[in-house]
Homo-oligomer: A and B are copies of this chain.
């Protein structure tokens, strides 16, 4: 399961948001066998505009992910920071890294 999230963050809260997101990604990749890839980037021209590329081994792995304590900490902790959230379901064409 592959997804893109496009997130707008209140600029005043961007450092706090980034800290929570980084902690959440590290915990997810480190502890969850079904979380394969979480890449987060911010636009150079609009740093409060965040994009995530998320790859899960399966939909079940994603359902497990969103019930973990580290995800719930991120989700509840950033609720008041996120001004817009768009989730885009995608299909992989080719995912390659080294």
Q: Determine which residue in A21, A55, A98 has the highest number of CB atoms from chain B within 10 A of its CB, and name it.
A: A98
Interface status of A61 (Cβ within 8 A of chain B): no
Known: A91-B47, A93-B18. A53 touches B25 (CB 8 A): no
| Minimum CB–CB distance for A63 against chain B, Å | 18
Mark interface residues in A5-38 (1 if CB within 8 Å of B CB, else 0): 0000000000000100110011011000000111
| Minimum CB–CB distance for A24 against chain B, Å | 9
| Minimum CB–CB distance for A94 against chain B, Å | 5
Task: Tell me the A residues contacting B by CB distance below 8 Å.
Answer: 2, 4, 18, 21-22, 25-26, 28-29, 36-45, 47, 50-51, 53, 55, 88-98
